[in-house]
Amino acid sequence: MSDNKNLEKNSSIIDLLKDLIFINSVIATEIIKITENTSRIARDQTPPESCLKEHKEIEKKILEICDKYIPDKVKILKKHIIKHE
């Protein structure tokens, strides 16, 4: 395979991985909110503060990962997560 073909293939794989990081980050943060909402409905009260705090820490880590690998896409995810608060 020529060098140009290798570069194109590598670039495509990198783009795919970046897209997957973004998609998985959205899924992960949405699942956190679904879990909180389900807990709220099941208990008829807000989830324990310790859980909410841990969820915020997890969301923060997800945003750090996004910022590291897909800084051009992290802004929209940050905006969405903040809307959930």
Tokens representing residue 22 in the block: 């973004």
**Full domain range(s) for residue 26:** 3-84
Region 57-71: what's the mean pLDDT? 94
Whether the predicted pLDDT of 9 surpasses 90: no
- What is the rounded distance in angstroms from the CA atom of residue 14 to the CA atom of residue 20? 10
pTM of the model: 0.82
Q: Tally the domains of the chain.
A: 1
Residue 1 has pLDDT above 60, yes or no: no
Question: In sequence order, what are the residues at sequence separation of 6 or more whose Cβ sits closer than 8 angstroms to the Cβ of residue 56?
Answer: none
The three-state DSSP-derived secondary structure of the chain is CCHHHHHHHHHHHHHHHHHHHHHHHHHHHHHHHHHHHHHHHHHCCCCCHHHHHHHHHHHHHHHHHHHHHCHHHHHHHHHHHHHHC
